[in-house]
Structure 1
C-alpha cells in the first residue's frame, strides 16, 4: 500500500521552520488543519493512524525543520517517529491527551500560548467521532475564528470551559442524525449551565456521498488492519477484525438500499474496530521486536536507511553513513549482534552530523515530495 505524507498547503521549504505531524484520524487531523489555516509557515504531514512508516520521517526530513509538533498520543502517532527525529537533533514536542477529547483540549491550550492567537469567545461543538460533522465544524471554526471542541456523552461542558478559561458568548452545535443522542445531552448541559449563551444548531443531512466517504475510510482502515495483523499472535485481533468486516459489509448493504444514515453509522463503527486491530497489532509487533535481537536490529536499520536515502537524494554527503550502514548490515548477517549494536550507535551519530550540516542546503533546494512503500 502506498502512503504519501501530504502537506495541507504548498509551502516553500526555505520559509518553513515548523512541521506538524499528525495521524489521519479525523479528529486530530482537523486540529492540525485548524492550526494551518489560522497561522503561517506551518507544514502538516499526515501518517496513517497507529502505523509507523520510515518514509514519513523521510518526508519530514525533506523540509529540514528545526522543530516538529506531534498532535496525538503514541497510539495514534507511534513513538518511533519522535525517536527518529530526536536522533537527528530535531526538537520534538507532543501535544496530546489520553484520548481524542483530551488531545483536543491540550492542542487548544497550546496553540493559544504558542501562536499568541486571539480567538473569539465562540465555540463550535461537535461529536468527536462524527466524520461529516467534524468537517463542517472545522470550516465554521476557521470562518468564525472560534474554538472547535470535540464532545461525547460523558463530556462535562463546565469543566472544559474552566480548563480553557473561556467566557463563552456564542455556541454552535454541529450534528448529523447519527450523533443526535450525544448532542441532545450536550444541549441539555448548555441550557442548565450556560443560560446566557447564544446557542445555534447546524444540522447536517446524511447524503449518499457522506455515507460513501465513511464506508471508503472504514474499508481503508480494515485493509491496513488486515495487513498489519497477518503475523500477529494475539487471538483477540482476529475476532475484532471479523466484527469490523461484518459491520463494513452491513454498511455497504445499507448504502445499496438507500439507508445512508445507517450505512454511515455502521461504517464509523467498523472504522473504530479496525483501529482497535491496528493498535493491538502494533503492540504485538513491538513485543516481538523487543524479544528478538536480530529482528530489532533489522527494523532499526530499515528506519535509518530511509533517512539516509532521502538525504542522499537531496544532495547531502552521506558517504560515511552509507559505509557504516553496510557494516551494520554485514554484522547482522554474520550474527555478530554486539558489533552491530556498537556500529548502530556510530551510524546514528554520523547521520545526525549529516543532517545538521546539510539542512540549510535542503531548505535552499525547495521541497521535493517523498513517496515510499510502507513496510510493517
Structure 2
C-alpha cells in the first residue's frame, strides 16, 4: 500500500538532516575499518556500508571496552577507522587506542539511532559516491525487521531509513518526491508502520509492504547477543562487587528464563518481544556498569594497571601472530607483572609506559608486514567479529 513515488524525497531529507562529520575522510586509502557496536540498527547500516565499499567490519559489545577489539583492528593495519555510533555505544577508549598508533579515526553518529542512520548515509554518499535506487523503511527498534530491511537494501541498491512514532512522514512528503519505497515490519512494529502508512495515504502515496515473520531460530540469535552482553555485565559486577549491578543481573536472568519458557510453549512472538526488552535493558545496564568500572579503577590502582597490561598484551599477540619478534616488549611486560604482584605500582606504571612506547615502535616498523598478514588471514568486507 505504498507505491512508486518515494526515493528522491528521503534522500533529499537525508542530505538536509545530515549531522556534521568530524574531518574529511580520504576514500583513496588502502584499508578502511568500520567499527560498530552490536546494536541492531547501527550494525545493520555498518554491514550495509561494508558490503558496498569492501571495508572491514569489526563489532564490539555495546558500551564496553574490549582490548581484543583494538588488537583486531590493528591486525588490519588500517589507514583509517570509521566508527558508527556515539561514545555510549562505541566507547571513546577505542579512539584513544587507535590515535596512539597514528590511525585516523572518524565517528559518524547522531543523538539516537535515527540520526546516526542519517549521518552514515549522508557521509557515505559524500565519501564513497554511493547513489541509491530506492528506500527501505523500517522501525529502528525492530531487530529482525531490520535484518530483512538490510537484505532488501543490498539487493536493490536502496538506503535504509529508520522510523518511529515521532517520524513526521507527512512533512517529508510535502517537500520531496520518491521513486520507490518498501516498508518492512514484524508484529513488533505494526503500530509504527501503520502510522507511516496512514501518513502516506494522506498524500496519495503508496509503497510495497514486506512482512518479516519471526522464527524461534531468529529469537535465539538475538539471545546469543543478549547473553554476550549479560556476561560482560556479570564480569563487571564481580570486579566491582556492585550490589546494584548484581540486582540487574538477577532481573535479566528472570527475563531470559521467560524467553526460554515462551519459546518452549511455542509463543515465538512473545519471546521476541521479551528479547527486544532484554536488548534495551542490557544497554542501560552496560552504561551503568561502565560507570561502576570507571569508579572502581579510580579507587583501585592494581585493577587499573592489570587492565592496561591486558590491553598491551592483546596488542602484542597480534604483532607476534604476524611474525614480528616481540621478545623485547615481552621482557618489559614480565617486569610489569612482577611489579604489580609485589605492589610496586609506581614502578609498574613507568614500565607500562616503556612497554607501550616500544610496542608502538614495533608496530610502525612492521605495519606493512601486518597488512600483508591480514590479507592472508582475514576476509575483507566481512565482519571480523559477529
TMscore range, shorter length: 0.7 to 0.9
Select which of 52, 63, 71 maps to 2:84: 71
Please tell me whether the aligned partners of residues 138 and 148 of structure 1 are also in contact (alpha carbons under 8 angstroms).
Answer: yes
Aligned to 1:147: 159
Partner residue in 2 for 1:169? 179
Task: Give the Cα–Cα distance (whole angstroms) in 2 for the partners of residues 66 and 39 of structure 1.
Answer: 15
Query: Within 5 A, what are the aligned runs for 1:82-97?
Result: 82-97=95-110
Deviation per residue, 1:313-335 (Å, 9 max, x gap) = 21224344334434444444454
How many angstroms does 1:167 deviate by? Answer: 4.3
How far apart, CA to CA, are the structure 1 residues paired with 2:310 and 2:231?
Answer: 23
Correspondence for 2:363: 355
Query: Which residue of 2 is the match for residue 315 of structure 1?
Result: 323
Give me the whole-angstrom Cα distance separating, in 2, the residues matched to 1:348 and 1:237.
Answer: 33
TM-score, normalised by the number of residues in structure 2: 0.81
What's the CA shift for 1:200?
1.9
Q: Distance in 1 between matches of 2:339 and 2:64?
A: 28
Aligned counterpart, 2:40? 26
What is the CA distance between 1:345 and its match in structure 2? 3.3
In 2: Cα distance, 1:327 partner to 1:178 partner: 55
C-alpha deviation, 1:265, in angstroms: 0.6
Q: Distance in 2 between matches of 1:303 and 1:139?
A: 36
Match of 2:115 in 1: 102
> Do 2:200 and 2:206's aligned partners in 1 also have CA atoms closer than 8 Å?
no
- The match for 1:112 is 125
SS of the residue aligned with 1:149?
A: strand
CA-based RMSD of the aligned residues comes to 2.7
Q: Name structure 1 gaps, 5 residues minimum.
A: 1-14, 370-376
Aligned length: 349
Instruction: Please state whether the residue corresponding to 1:364 is helix, strand or coil.
Output: helix
Equivalent position SS for 2:106:
strand
Contact kept? 1:244, 1:269, Cα under 8 Å: no
- Alignment check: 8 A CA contact 1:20 1:68 kept: yes
Matched, 1:368 2:377: yes
Q: Is the 8 A contact 1:332 1:340 kept in 2?
A: yes
Work out which of the residue numbers 167, 192, 195 in structure 2 matches 1:185. 195
Cα separation, 1, equivalents of 2:110 and 2:372: 36
Q: Does 1:204 align with 2:217?
A: no
CA distance in 2, matches of 1:52, 1:240: 20
The whole-number CA distance in structure 1 between the counterparts of 2:113 and 2:143 is 13
Distance in 2 (CA, whole Å) between partners of 1:175 and 1:275 is 23
Q: Retained in 1: the 8 A contact 2:240–2:296?
A: no
* 1:246-281 CA distance string (max 9 Å, x none): 222222222222221111111211232122222211
Which deviates more from structure 2 when the two are superposed, residues 203-212 or residues 57-66?
203-212
Q: CA deviation at 1:140?
A: 0.9
- Check if 1:344 corresponds to 2:352: yes
- Secondary structure in 1 matching 2:366: helix
Matches of 2:172 and 2:325, distance apart in 1: 50
| 5+ long unaligned stretches in structure 2 | 1-28, 379-386
Aligned counterpart for 1:61 among listed residues 66, 74, 77? 74
Partner Cα distance (2:173, 2:357) in 1: 46
Distance in 1 (CA, whole Å) between partners of 2:325 and 2:114 is 44
Mapped to 2, the partners of 1:224 and 1:67 lie a distance apart of 28
1:94 aligns to what SS in structure 2? strand
Contact 2:37 2:43 in 1 (8 A): yes
CA distance in 2, matches of 1:28, 1:46: 10
Give the match's secondary structure for 2:207: strand
| Equivalent residues of 1:89, 1:352 under 8 A apart | no
